[in-house]
Amino acid sequence: MRSLRFAWAAVLGTVGLTTSLHAQPKTEPAGGPVSYFKDIRPIFQQNCQGCHQPAKAQGDYVMTDFAGLLKAGEAGKPGVVPGKPAESFLLDEIRVKDGKHEMPKNRDALTAQQVERIEQWIKEGAKDDTPASAKEKVTVDEDHPHQYLAPPVVTSLAFSPDGKLLAVTGYHEVLLHTADGSKIEGRLIGLSEQVRALAFSPDGKWLAAAAGSPGRFGEVQIWNVAMRKLKSSTPVSFDTLSGVSWSPDGKIVAFGCTDNTVRAIDADTGKQVLQMGTHSDWVLGTVFSQDGLHLASISRDMSMKLTEVPTQRFIDNVTSITPGALKGGLMALDRRPMKDKKMQKVPDDTPGAKPNVYDELLIAGSDGTPRLYKMHRETKRVIGDDANKVKQFEPMPGRTSCVRFNAAGDKFAAVSSLDGKGEVRVYEVESGKKVACERVTGAVYAVAWEPDGKAIASAGFDGKVWLHDATTGKLLKEFSAVPLTEKKASK
């Protein structure tokens, strides 16, 4: 368990973060003038920047940099006028009048205390006390994409349902490659420094990203794939998010948080519709049942749990809670595509909505062993049992970071890392036979199947994307996840 924490933190760049990840930043200074950096900026990050950032400048007003706060939006009035609250349009928008407020749009109003702090900060001259070390050295937006001198660590890959695009995580962005890796079709540049997990909606129109900036904020981005535009940005918690997934009907997006909760939002409005908090460590993966009534989640706490979506109730520990049944935290999760297999009679002691379909879940993590489980209990619970487990497969070397089924559900791909080396395998579900993919260099953290099931894409620490034949393991192509810029020689 301890070794998993260190390894996963190194991958995600969050080494050194402590309990401050789980605590809400203070908005009340102990004394003296109100601080923009400590008191005001956190309020804007959590409530405003999702709609007022370069990728989605609602009202032509950008709040992600200090200079933008002083400018006028489409209303023609400056948002902040230092020393003059009465002339600052921002205050008019966030104040509650007759029980109503303009901003934040479609969210709860700021508290009276928060509004008072912002007003006091403006009265005091609206000074920017951001430390030089905390300021962005380079503006990263659509007009100023990040220039890569070295490839980034790739944490997630996803093929579009039509098989035309391969989405790849980068720094501050998602890169849309053609499926064969021949060119980059688009760069979706957002607010978050890290993008950890990607998932296309079932119809392929939208791309969801679990993202954030370590120790500051989490963000769920939903992009319009055809237009390459940000549809919505929903700030959540105070650290980066993981394990994003779509409900089968495309209406709900679920994800995991470092505050030990699994959550879900309405894909159209961004409103939170689910929060379950029975995990005792970071939640790293989520997936819905076929009928969308249940949500499975995995965590560093060595458990897979089941939540009833309509009621937000915790239903069951899918995995055994017996000490030693699992050898470490879980990092990888996927649901097996299955049709026409009916559930057996659900035991009377099983609470919640009665499932009408049979689902199987594949998990893996720190011990490298992929395990297949039934999502729903079909036998009476016995303390200490592991009755939901269907089978387990030959372990991967090191830690398994991602598992993915093909569309037919008869094979799955898994990737792992150990001592700086990585492996990519394809397993047959029924026989357990495996094929190891050739010419893989460096640790591997992400894998995805082409919709037709003929090839898989994988990537990881060294920023390369590999395309392998899923049957033979032969390398078909290798390419860089990002465009690289030559480093200029110093004078």
pLDDT along the chain (491 residues), means of 10: 42 38 42 81 75 74 78 83 86 82 79 87 86 62 83 97 98 96 95 94 98 90 95 89 98 97 94 94 97 96 95 92 76 92 69 77 96 92 85 97 97 97 97 97 97 98 97 98 76 48
Rounded to whole angstroms, the Cα distance separating 451 from 163 reads 6
| Cα-based angle 168, 172, 177 (whole degrees, multiple of 5) | 25
Nearest to 187, CA basis, from 172, 200, 174: 174
pLDDT at position 308: 95
Q: Are 42 and 25 in contact (CB under 8 A)?
A: yes
pLDDT at position 157: 98
Instruction: State the pTM of this model.
Output: 0.80
Structural domains in the chain plus CATH codes? 21-134 (no CATH), 157-480 (2.130.10.10)
Task: Report how far Cα 396 is from the mean position of its chain's Cα atoms.
Answer: 24
In what side-by-side order are the strands of the sheet with 313-317? Answer: 283-288, 294-299, 304-308, 313-317
Output Rg (C-alpha) for the chain, integer angstroms.
Answer: 23
Nearest to 334, CA basis, from 362, 306, 357: 362
pLDDT at position 69: 83
Write down the number of H helices and E strands in the chain: 5, 30
Half-sphere exposure of 269 (CA within 13 A, CB side): 9
